[in-house]
């Protein structure tokens, strides 16, 4: 409706997010929305041990909801509430970098009270000063990861798939390739394969990559664009090769060690999903205490040991080297500097760019 | 139930129009409480519509309906103490037989509904079907259930729309006797629509013959049959031989109460003077087939040839052609006398006074031909 | 007497006839008006606005959006109609015998079978559609079974056939138009079977006997008697199938490929990702208009207006 | 050959039934899987673990409870409202009838994303916070049309003479409705209610827009879980619900036919 | 149409069982081509089931059916040149009247279907309804359409299952004449099920009376009526007065062809020797009501009191109670002679030879009581 959307017609200067009366001290609760299967789960399948411990320690109950399936979808769900100046019912959630940038720009998230997060200093050095949130006033990473290439040797005839080129043109893979609906990962990988830097590119570079993807799609090479649901067909071999996120594949490898994962030599993307606190959150302080809790390397180690993504917290590796050396040695979880050098971070986009690029990318996805 | 009257049923100038079509046309009649009234008439003449207005299922376009002193014209069906046995049965398919029969009783919170309903069902010889559902019964059985469902309420007026049409002869006769018994015992007013003329004649105190939405004649069965007021009634009720004739006696003067008329064939026929409508010279002389005797025992005689004979059990029906071509129907009871072969020359005779006489201005075939809407 | 007779108006009946239907409609329609019509009106208004999600929209009666939307996305729109149409035909072909079987041949099992038709809904359709991936996929149930029966050649033959008629790639079942249409067919079968069943159960089998008595073979009895009499059920079933199937895209997402994108996917992407609300709204309005037009014409042609 | 012809309907019917049920059998089979890693994607080995601990996956059982609750309330409300509308359309001629018919079809013709998002906009404009109430409102709205279409079909086949017979037997319009009309239309209403419940219980897209983090329905739960491979418990619960529905009716049927035999 | 024979219809030992219930029990009969055959019997006796087997809509459990030399037992209905007028009409509601009538013709690709169908419709006086749909016609009209739809195909065998039940008397008589005309003109074989006995008697060449799935008697109408072979037939067809009596003549010896029997009241009755079944001494003497004359014109005489009189138009029916309590039914044609009042003492008389005689071992009420399945 026009009413809701007109309320966003603020434009210009960065608006600031409204704060609600904080009920944290009386209402021992925090509402956290996160991506599915992005947290430790007890062996027995029961609860989330790290969360239970948090509750035990601080007496704050956590309402943990896995309803963040996709940045765009989630944004579409909360934007009308935020735009209308209403509570979203959540105290924190984990958005990917570019989405955090948008949220900050639109004034939909609140700055942290760092006094409640003494552990914030534990954030990994490389993640401390990011373009969209210098000094990490609004966001702190939950997990990081790469987007690279995964393949199922069963379906590739035993061949390794190591380059974006192969993905887009190898006739043996025809109709058995999936790319991500996450524009920055998909277009990012392609641009890098075309020799461009995703930290610094032009419209023309972007559009050239789009054309490349389109060509592949029209040739019938690409089976689909997916969110997190690429895992099942990859495991079963219906997908031969795809762009995939590290943690997922590492977890799949537990079932099927033959699955391959490659960070292409031309470059891969590095991203983080970050805690933010939305406007009008009712339990801001509790959320901050929660973030602080996870910024304890021991707690983070527990999570990373399970989800197999890259920890944004210093000191995690040390703990895992002791507890679970295979994880600590995994380049995809604790990448070396060499590995990291292959990764690039997608540059921030202006609103106009974002609109234009998304439109172009989506017209390939749904064309 | 509130506001119903009890007493004579009175229709005053009742008319019912459906858009441009008038199904019932200005009917006025009074049916005394406790009498058995029959409505006869060809298909589509307005019988069902008339009943529906009495039941309250249809509003008269014009006119009023009274039961006793109470004007029930605008009462809802459920407010009238009137029940109907529908031509289409209209049994409730979701209720078993006993619940169908008990429907009205329970609606009126009759504490004794179980016993009464079972009794009514026994009455129509279907006591053993109490727990069945309507679709499990044959057509005849369903019709009897519909009868029980209406009877059990002992209404002031019971409307019966061809209530025995689906029954075979034996069963029909037996139900007729039951109906008649109930009616005289309980003193209900019955209005009965039927196309079985024998049924109407044996059961009803009064019969109304309807045609095209109007009442053609209203009388007791014998009068209706023996003194039909129109060619329509004469032909519709039983069979009639209508002979065109001219009054020949000067000024229609009677000798010994008898007047002579002359047929096309120049046969003279004597008729009772009292039967002759005054002031008319061209007449139909009507003689019922059973009044024509074969042989010359009667005073009026006509000669003819047997062209057809058909055996119907109780009687044999002959067609006899007169010299001028007219065929007469003759019925002769099979009392043991010999049957006539086709082709035989016969004399038909009857006595003056056994005829009825109608104005020749009327159509001789009215009520005898098929009459589709 | 005749004076009194004329004065018999049946006024109360008239009045009742007037307000009763409105009273019956009121709660349901009110619900629809508030929670469907109002949002729909704002949707239409949205489709005529210009602007963007960050800077707001203004109503400019910009019809160009419609031109752009249809100009760009007519292939997806057309594809949706074709897939939904195919699925409707298949649900009818499969649903009719099933409905007949349940109505006339299942005896005491009737109610159990009816519930079996609807019960799959209780297991989320997402899981069931994912199960189709397991069945149709590489090394899936179908392939394994066919292999065990030494019928792999048949499967491959079928795949090649699908390739020839443009419903497949020629070498697989999953991620083809065939899979999408099969998924739609599967998901909407109950919507076809229930109304068909309701109709067929009431069908008077004596009419079939009468036809056969009048020299109609089973085939022509079906064509000339049974089919025309089942039309109301067929119409209700095809509407309940075709309409939602046109807007559906989950089947296409999960069982299809980039070659099977349906209009729902486009609307979804414009709404959720591109945030081009006017375009998404215009596509939605166009889709609704198209469907309503189609339904009206269809119901007229089928001559069952009163029955649906 | 003639055997085949005689049983053609039965054979095709059973094959189609198999088509309808096949995915449920797969779901059932995988409910006995014991995934080696964490994902229930490929068959590993037989186990009863998930059946013994169906609520073991966090949040799963509360989401089922919520979906059942919403499904029941929404289907009941939609059934009542829809039945009234169906009676109006099926039994009365009135001004605006054609328009009403179109209005009934429109929600079915609206893509779910559109319906979900425009409803959300409305709720925000009205200042209604999302949650169970908004989910309910949405469900009632989209179930309504299906109920109307189903019930109307049944009403169309009803013999109006039966209501006249009831009136003739002293039943006021209200009583005639309760004792005759309603029981006769009941199968249609039941079918409509069942359809409505299924639609509500199974809806994801519209629900997702109008839910809050404290109102996660079963489909929302599954959708999240499915992104990464569905936990075995989902197969268990899906199968339990499926089997329960069948058993419920099957047992009812057995009881009914037992009663019938006892009577005969 | 392929493989149908033409010629006599022959049922040989045909039995039809539904699960445990035997609806038709070992029936054998031959119906000559071109004859008019009627099936009579109480509701549920198996008439419809028999027709359905002839039509091919039901398979006999045992036995064969031939048309001419061809065994049609296992032919499908559409392969037999047999048509049915269904008891329930079974008109196609979605087709208009003319298309209903033309259904069979078009099925057989008759190029002239339009003209023929219209003709058939005109024949049943419904030419003007060609474009209407069945629900727009009244019950009687629908029945006539069903008739036209079957007739128009000129089948070898036409099965009529109460084809005139919904028509009023006038119309029914007219249709009877039409049917008979068509039958004799075209030479079809008709099998007619009816519960109108008069209809069966006037129309049929041969009548079979069925009871409980079996044929009780098969004969021409007059024989059936005048020489019923069982009390069931005697009671089911028309009315019968059955008097229990003992043969008194020594050894049943006849004098002048006459044997004397004695009733319970010690009245001696003379009966024709040829009517007396050999070797039986306890008998029912049956006398039809129309054979009883009021007065002493006949040789056998009984005295009694009139207890009831009812006027049926053509005739008046009396109940006369004999001294020992038995009531006799007497029918007297209304040929103009006076009517008897209730309470009058009368003498009833008839001549020897007008009676029929049955074995007293049979139930006197068979076929007279209601007989529910
Ligand atoms: N609702 C109606 N709308 C229009 N015409 C009607 C309606 N009801 C009855 N009629 C017409 O009124 C006339 C009388 O119908 P009615 O049912 O009273 O006939 P009937 O005498 O009962 O005939 P039948 O012996 O065939 O039952 C018929 O011509 C019929 O077509
Ligand atoms: N399909 C069936 N299954 C079981 N019993 C049946 C079936 N069809 C007929 N019957 C039984 O067979 C008997 C004969 O039925 P049929 O219809 O032949 O009677 P009918 O002589 O035509 O009676 P009516 O005069 O009432 O039409 C009845 O008792 C009936 O209940
Ligand atoms: N299972 C959790 C996956 C989280 C993926 N985050 C997406 C970031 C995309 N750049
Ligand atoms: Mg009538
Ligand atoms: Mg019968």
pLDDT tens column, B104-120 = 999 889 899 999 999 99
Is D83's pLDDT higher than 90? yes
Instruction: Give yes or no for a contact between C271 and A352, defined as CB atoms under 8 angstroms apart.
Output: no
pLDDT at residue D258, as a whole number:
64
Mean pLDDT on D232-253: 84
- The mean per-residue pLDDT over the stretch B259-270 comes to 85
Question: Average pLDDT for residues A69-73, to the nearest whole number?
Answer: 86
Report the pocket of ligand 3 as residue ranges, CB < 6 Å: A 35-38, 96, 182, 184-185, 228, 245, 248, 271, 273; D 228
Would you say A196 and A187 are in contact if contact means Cβ atoms under 8 Å apart?
Answer: no
Same domain, yes or no: D241 and D119: no
Is residue C274 over pLDDT 60? yes
State the average pLDDT over residues E132-149. Answer: 83
CB-based burial of residue D16 (10 Å sphere; 0-12 exposed, 13-18 middle, 19+ buried)? Answer: buried
Same fold, E9-226 and E239-359: no
Chain B residues whose CB is inside 8 A of the D180 CB are 92, 94
A209-218, A324-333, D242-251, E316-325 — which is least confidently predicted? D242-251
What pLDDT, on the 0 to 100 scale, is given for residue C1?
34
Query: Which pLDDT score, from 0 to 100, does residue A46 have?
Result: 67
Q: ipTM of this predicted complex?
A: 0.81
- What pLDDT was estimated at residue A12? 43
Mean pLDDT, residues A129-151: 94
Nearest Cα to A219, choosing from A174, A189, A180, A156? A174
Q: Which residues 139-198 of C are in CB contact (within 8 Å) with D?
A: 141, 186, 189-191, 194-195, 198
Same structural domain, D150 and D243:
no
Report whether A161 contacts A149 (CB < 8 A).
yes
D211 has a pLDDT exceeding 70: yes
Q: How confident is the model at residue C170 (pLDDT cuts 50, 70, 90)?
A: confident
Q: What digits encode the pLDDT tens for the residues C100-118?
A: 999 888 877 888 888 888 8
Nearest-CA distance D259 → chain B (Å)? 12
Q: How far is the CA of A302 from the centre of ligand 3 (A)?
A: 19
Clarify whether residues D250 and D167 are in a common domain. Answer: no
- The torsion angles phi and psi of B158, rounded to 5 degrees, stand at -115, 125
At A192, is the pLDDT very low, low, confident or very high (cuts 50, 70, 90)?
Answer: very high
- With a cut of 80, say whether residue A145 has pLDDT above it: yes
For residue C7, pLDDT beyond 70: no
Mutate to test the pocket of ligand 3, among A40, A142, A182 (most ligand atoms within 8 A of CB): A182
Task: Using CB atoms within 10 Å of the CB of residue A288, give its burial: 0 to 12 exposed, 13 to 18 middle, 19+ buried.
Answer: buried
Mean residue pLDDT of chain D comes to 84
Q: What is the pTM of this model?
A: 0.83
**Structural domains of chain C, with CATH:** 71-302 (1.10.3720.10)
Q: Are the C-beta atoms of residues D229 and A232 closer than 8 Å to each other? A: yes
| pLDDT, mean over chain A | 90
Q: Name which of B325-334, C210-219, D56-65 the model is least confident about.
A: D56-65
- Span from the CA of E210 to the centroid of ligand 2 (angstroms): 13
Residue A10 pLDDT exceeds 60: no
Mutate to test the pocket of ligand 1, among B17, B21, B55, B212 (most ligand atoms within 8 A of CB): B21
What are B309's two structure tokens?
Answer: 């004979």
Same domain for D246 and D221, yes or no, is no
Does D12 map to a domain? no
Asked if residue A108 has pLDDT above 60, the reply is yes
Q: Quick one: D64 and D80 in the same domain?
A: yes
Average pLDDT, chain B: 87
Contacts of E169 in chain B (CB under 8 A): 195-197
Q: How far apart are CA D97 and CA D76, in angstroms?
A: 25
Q: E162 vs D66, which has greater pLDDT? A: D66
Which residue ranges make up each domain of chain B?
9-226, 239-359
Contact call for A80 and D120, based on CB within 8 A: yes
- Give C5's pLDDT tier (boundaries 50, 70, 90): very low
Instruction: Give the per-residue pLDDT at D41.
Output: 66
Contact of D162 with D180, CB cutoff 8 Å: yes
* Band of residue B344 on the pLDDT scale cut at 50, 70, 90: very high
Ligand 1 atom 16, closest CA: B46
Mean pLDDT of B11-18: 93
C263 vs E173, residue with greater confidence: C263
Residues of the domain holding D209: 59-229
Contact status, residue D162 vs residue B92, Cβ threshold 8 Å:
yes
Q: Do D236 and D107 fall into the same domain?
A: no
The tens digit of pLDDT for each residue in B195-218 reads 888 889 888 999 999 998 999 999
Give residue D257's pLDDT: 65
> Is 90 exceeded by the pLDDT of residue A248?
no
The verdict on A257 touching D (C-beta cutoff 8 Å) is no
The pLDDT, as a whole number, for residue A126 is 86
- Confidence (pLDDT) at C308: 40
**Bigger pLDDT: E295 vs D77:** D77
User: Chains E vs D: touching, with 3+ CB pairs under 8 Å?
Assistant: no
How confident is the model over B118-169, as pLDDT tens digits?
A: 999 998 888 888 998 887 777 778 888 998 999 999 898 999 988 887 677 7
Q: Which residue of A has its CA nearest to C126?
A: A229
Which of these ranges, A332-341, B156-165, B174-183, D79-88, has the smallest mean pLDDT?
B174-183
Pick the CATH number of B9-226 from 2.10.109.10, 3.40.50.300, 3.20.20.60, 3.30.2130.30: 3.40.50.300
Clarify whether residues D107 and D146 are in a common domain: yes
Lowest-pLDDT range of A19-33, B190-204, E160-174, E259-273: E160-174
**C129 neighbourhood in chain D, CB within 8 Å:** 23
Q: How far apart are CA D77 and CA C222, in angstroms?
A: 40
Could you tell me which residues come within 8 angstroms of residue E159 by beta carbon, excluding any fewer than 6 positions away? E51, E54, E55, E82, E83, E84, E85, E150, E191, E193
Specify the range with the lowest mean pLDDT, choosing from B360-369, C45-54, E71-80.
B360-369
D65 and D91 inside one domain: yes
D52 lies in a domain? no
Residue A3: pLDDT band (50, 70, 90) is very low
CA C231 → CA A360, B65, B367, distances in Å? 46, 45, 43
E1: pLDDT strictly greater than 50: no
pLDDT confidence band for C2 (50 / 70 / 90) = very low
CB contact under 8 A, D225 and A37: yes
Atom of ligand 3 nearest to the CA of D228: 1
Ligand closest in space to the Cα of B50: 1
Chain D residues with CB inside 8 Å of C17's CB?
92
Instruction: Name the pLDDT band for E254 (thresholds 50, 70, 90).
Output: low
Give the pLDDT confidence of D142-152 residue by residue, as tens digits: 999 989 988 88
Contact D209, D117 (CB under 8 A): yes
Ligand 4 center to B227 CA (angstroms): 27
Does residue D197 sit in the same domain as residue D216? yes
| Pick from E83, E93, E95: CB nearest C213 | E83
pLDDT band at C18 (very low <50, low <70, confident <90, very high): low
| Of residues C258, C271, C273, nearest to A358 (C-beta) | C273
- The number of domains in chain D is 2
Return the pLDDT at E178.
80
CATH number at residue D78: 1.10.3720.10
- Tokens at C218, concatenated: 């089973």
In this structure, the number of other CB atoms found within 10 A of the CB of residue E219 comes to 17
- The set of residues, in sequence order, having a beta carbon less than 8 Å from that of C84 and lying 6+ positions away, is C184, C241, C242, C245, C246, C248
Using an 8 Å CB-CB cutoff, list chain C residues near D239.
123
The predicted-structure confidence for A259-284, as pLDDT tens digits, reads as follows 999 999 999 999 999 999 999 999 99
Stronger pLDDT, C81 or E337, i.e. the higher one: C81
Alpha carbons B114 and D183: distance in angstroms, whole number? 21
In this predicted model, what pLDDT tens digit does every residue of C116-159 receive, in sequence order?
Answer: 888 888 888 888 888 898 888 877 888 888 888 888 888 888 88
| Residue in the structure block whose two tokens are 């066919």 | C146
Whole-number Cα distances in Å, B236 to A11, B365, D125:
94, 10, 77
> Looking at the domain that runs over B239-359, which CATH code has it been given?
2.40.50.140
Q: Please indicate, yes or no, whether residues D225 and D249 belong to a single structural domain of this protein.
A: no
Helix ranges (H only) for D31-59 are: 49-52
Q: Are D63 and D154 within one domain? A: yes
Find out whether B238 and B207 touch, Cβ atoms under 8 Å.
no
Q: What is the average per-residue pLDDT within C76-99?
A: 95
**Diameter of chain D by CA atoms?**
72
- If residue B310 lies in a helix (H) or strand (E), which one and from where to where? strand B300-311
B149 contacts chain D (CB < 8 A) = yes
């Amino acid at each position: 409706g026009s009413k809701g959307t007109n309320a966003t017609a603020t434009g210009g200067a960065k608006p600031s997010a409204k704060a609600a009366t904080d009920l944290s001290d009386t209402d021992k609760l925090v509402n956290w929305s996160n991506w599915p299967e992005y947290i430790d789960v007890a062996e027995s399948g029961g609860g989330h041990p790290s969360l239970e411990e948090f509750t035990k320690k601080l007496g704050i109950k956590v309402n943990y909801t896995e309803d963040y399936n996709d940045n765009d979808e989630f944004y579409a769900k909360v934007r009308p509430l935020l735009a209308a100046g209403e509570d979203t019912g959540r105290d924190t959630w984990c958005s990917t970098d570019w989405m955090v940038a948008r949220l900050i720009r639109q004034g939909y998230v609140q700055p942290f009270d760092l006094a409640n997060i003494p552990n914030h200093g534990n954030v990994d050095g490389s993640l401390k000063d990011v373009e969209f949130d210098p000094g990490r006033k609004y966001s702190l990473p939950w997990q990081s990861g790469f987007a690279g290439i995964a393949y199922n040797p069963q379906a590739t005839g035993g061949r390794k798939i190591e380059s974006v080129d192969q993905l887009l043109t190898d006739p043996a893979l025809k109709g058995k390739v999936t790319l991500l609906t996450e524009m920055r990962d998909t277009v990012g990988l392609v641009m890098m394969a075309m020799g461009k830097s995703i930290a610094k590119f032009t419209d023309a570079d972007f559009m050239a990559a789009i054309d490349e993807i389109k060509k592949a799609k029209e040739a019938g090479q690409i089976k689909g664009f997916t969110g997190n649901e690429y895992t099942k067909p990859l495991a079963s071999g219906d997908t031969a090769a795809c762009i995939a996120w590290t943690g997922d594949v590492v977890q799949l490898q537990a079932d099927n060690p033959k699955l391959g994962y490659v960070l292409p030599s031309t470059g891969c993307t590095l991203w983080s999903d970050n805690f933010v606190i939305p406007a009008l959150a009712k339990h801001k302080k509790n959320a901050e205490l929660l973030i602080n809790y996870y910024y304890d390397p021991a707690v983070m180690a527990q999570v990373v040991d399970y989800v197999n993504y890259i920890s944004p917290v210093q000191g995690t590796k040390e703990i895992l080297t002791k507890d679970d050396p295979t994880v600590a040695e995994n380049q995809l979880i604790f990448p070396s500097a060499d590995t990291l050098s292959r990764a690039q971070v997608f540059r921030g986009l202006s609103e106009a760019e974002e609109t234009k690029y998304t439109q172009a990318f989506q017209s390939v996805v749904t064309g | 139930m509130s506001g119903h009257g009890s007493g004579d049923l009175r229709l005053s100038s009742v008319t019912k129009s459906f858009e441009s079509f008038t199904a019932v046309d200005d009917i006025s009649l009074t049916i005394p409480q406790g009498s058995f009234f029959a409505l006869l008439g060809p298909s589509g003449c307005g019988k069902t519509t008339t009943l529906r207005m009495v039941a309250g299922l249809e509003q008269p376009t014009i006119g009023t309906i009274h039961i006793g002193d109470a004007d029930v014209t605008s009462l809802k069906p459920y407010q009238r103490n009137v029940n109907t046995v529908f031509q289409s049965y209209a049994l409730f398919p979701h209720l078993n037989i006993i619940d169908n029969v008990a429907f009205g009783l329970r609606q009126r919170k009759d504490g004794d509904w179980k016993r009464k309903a079972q009794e009514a069902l026994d009455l129509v010889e279907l006591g053993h079907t109490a727990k069945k559902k309507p679709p499990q019964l044959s057509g005849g059985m369903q019709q009897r259930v519909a009868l029980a469902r209406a009877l059990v309420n002992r209404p002031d007026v019971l409307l019966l729309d061809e209530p025995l049409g689906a029954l075979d002869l034996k069963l029909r006769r037996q139900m007729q006797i039951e109906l008649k018994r109930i009616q005289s015992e309980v003193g209900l007013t019955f209005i009965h629509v039927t196309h079985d003329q024998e049924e109407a004649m044996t059961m009803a105190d009064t019969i109304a013959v309807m045609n095209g939405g109007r009442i053609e004649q209203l009388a007791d069965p014998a009068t209706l049959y023996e003194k039909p007021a129109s060619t329509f009634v004469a032909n519709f009720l039983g069979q009639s031989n209508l002979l065109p004739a001219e009054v020949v006696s000067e000024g229609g003067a009677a000798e010994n109460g008898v007047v002579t008329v002359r047929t096309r064939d120049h046969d003279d026929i004597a008729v009772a003077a009292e039967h002759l409508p005054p002031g008319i010279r061209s007449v139909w002389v009507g003689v019922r087939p059973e009044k024509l005797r074969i042989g010359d025992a009667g005073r009026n005689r006509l000669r003819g040839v047997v062209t057809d004979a058909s055996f119907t059990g109780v009687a044999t029906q002959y067609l006899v052609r007169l010299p001028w071509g007219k065929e007469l129907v003759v019925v002769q009871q099979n009392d043991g006398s010999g049957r006539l072969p086709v082709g035989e020359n016969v004399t038909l005779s009857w006595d003056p006074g056994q005829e009825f006489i109608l104005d020749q201005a009327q159509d001789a075939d009215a009520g005898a031909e098929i009459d589709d809407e | 007497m005749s004076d009194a007779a004329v004065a018999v108006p049946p006024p109360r009946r008239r009045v009742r006839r007037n307000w009763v239907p409105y009273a019956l409609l009121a709660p349901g329609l009110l619900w629809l008006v508030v929670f469907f019509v109002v949002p729909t009106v704002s949707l239409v208004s949205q489709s005529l606005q210009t602007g963007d999600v960050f800077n707001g929209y203004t109503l400019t009666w910009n019809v160009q959006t419609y031109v752009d939307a249809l100009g760009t996305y007519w292939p997806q729109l057309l594809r949706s109609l074709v897939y939904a149409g195919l699925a409707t035909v298949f649900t009818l072909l499969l649903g009719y015998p099933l409905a007949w079987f349940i109505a006339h041949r299942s005896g005491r099992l009737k109610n159990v079978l009816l519930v079996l038709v609807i019960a799959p809904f209780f297991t989320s359709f997402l899981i069931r559609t994912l199960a189709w991936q397991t069945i149709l996929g590489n090394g899936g149930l179908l392939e394994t079974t066919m292999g065990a029966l030494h019928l792999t050649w048949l499967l491959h033959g079928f795949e090649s056939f699908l390739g020839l008629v443009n419903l497949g790639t020629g070498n697989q079942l999953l991620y083809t138009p065939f899979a999408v249409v099969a998924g739609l067919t599967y998901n909407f079968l109950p919507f076809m079977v229930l109304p068909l069943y309701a109709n067929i159960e009431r069908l008077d089998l004596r009419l079939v006997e009468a036809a056969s008595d009048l020299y109609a073979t089973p085939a022509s009895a079906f064509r000339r008697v049974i089919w025309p009499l089942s039309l109301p059920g067929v119409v209700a079933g095809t509407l309940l199938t075709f309409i939602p199937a046109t807007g559906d895209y989950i089947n296409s997402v999960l069982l299809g490929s980039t070659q099977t994108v349906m209009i729902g996917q486009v609307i979804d992407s414009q709404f959720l990702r591109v945030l081009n609300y006017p375009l998404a709204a215009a596509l939605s309005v166009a889709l609704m208009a198209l469907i309503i037009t189609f339904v009206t014409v269809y119901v007229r042609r089928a001559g069952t207006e009163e029955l649906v | 050959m003639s055997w085949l012809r005689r049983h053609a309907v039965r054979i095709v019917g059973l094959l189609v039934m198999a088509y309808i049920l096949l995915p449920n059998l797969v779901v059932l089979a995988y409910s006995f899987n014991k995934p080696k890693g964490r994902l229930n994607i490929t068959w590993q080995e037989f186990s009863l673990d998930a059946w013994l601990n169906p609520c073991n996956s966090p949040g799963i059982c509360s989401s089922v409870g919520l979906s059942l609750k919403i499904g029941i309330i929404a289907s009941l409300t939609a059934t009542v409202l829809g039945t009234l509308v169906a009676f109006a359309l099926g039994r009365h001629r009135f001004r605006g009838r054609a328009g009403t018919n179109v209005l009934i079809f429109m929600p079915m013709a609206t893509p779910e994303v559109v319906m979900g998002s425009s409803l959300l906009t409305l709720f925000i404009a009205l200042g209604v916070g999302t949650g169970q109430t908004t989910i309910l409102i949405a469900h009632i709205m989209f179930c309504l049309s299906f109920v109307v279409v189903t019930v109307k079909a049944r009403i169309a086949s009803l013999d109006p003479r039966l209501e006249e017979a009831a009136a003739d037997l002293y039943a006021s319009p209200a009583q005639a409705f309760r004792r005759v009309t309603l029981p006769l239309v009941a199968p249609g209403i039941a079918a409509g209610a069942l359809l409505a419940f299924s639609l509500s219980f199974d809806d994801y897209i519209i629900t997702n827009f109008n839910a809050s983090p404290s109102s996660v329905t079963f489909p929302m739960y599954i959708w999240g879980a499915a992104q990464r491979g569905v936990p075995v418990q989902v197969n268990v619960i899906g199968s339990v619900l499926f089997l329960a529905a069948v058993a419920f009716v099957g047992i009812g049927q057995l009881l009914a036919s037992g009663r019938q035999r006892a009577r005969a």
